[in-house]
Amino acid sequence: MKNKKNIKYLLIFIGLSAFALFVRDQEIKNLKKEVLAHEKEMVSVTYSTITKAYKTHSEIFFSTKINVPEVFALMKKANSTDMTEKNHAREELYSLLIDSFNSMKLFN
C-alpha cells in the first residue's frame, strides 16, 4: 500500500517537473524571439541611418563638387577625340577631385 502511494507521488512529481520544464523551455524560446526581434529592429534602424547619411553626403558632394561648370567643361574635353586634350582633361579632373576622394575614403 505504501509502495503504491510512493509510486503515485513519484509519478505526480515527474509529471509536474516535466510540465515545469516545458513551461520554462517555452519562456526561453519566447525570450530568444523577443531578443532577436529587438536586434533585428536595431540593425534595421542602423542600416537606415547609415544609408540616409551616405545619401545626404553623396548629394552634397555631387551638388558642390561635380555638378559645377568647371567639371562639366573638363568632362566635355575628356570626351574629345583628340588624345592630348583628353589626357590633359583627365589629369585636371583627377587633380580637381583627388582631395575630395581622399577625404571620402576616411568615412569608409
Tens of pLDDT, residues 18-37: 999 999 999 999 999 999 99
Q: What is the pLDDT of residues 35-81, one digit of tens each?
A: 999 999 999 999 999 999 989 988 998 999 999 999 999 999 988 88
Q: Strand, helix or coil at 24? A: helix
Give pTM, 2 decimals: 0.61
- Confidence band of 108 (pLDDT split at 50, 70, 90): low
Secondary structure (DSSP) of 86-101: HHHHHHHHHHHHHHHH
Spatial separation of the C-alpha atoms in residues 57 and 62, rounded to whole Å: 9
Please report the pLDDT score of residue 1 as a whole number: 61
- Say which DSSP state 79 is in: T
Instruction: Please compute the mean of the pLDDT values over residues 86-92 and round it to a whole number.
Output: 93
Q: Which residue ranges make up each domain of the chain?
A: 1-57, 68-108
Instruction: Please compute the mean of the pLDDT values over residues 95-105 and round it to a whole number.
Output: 89
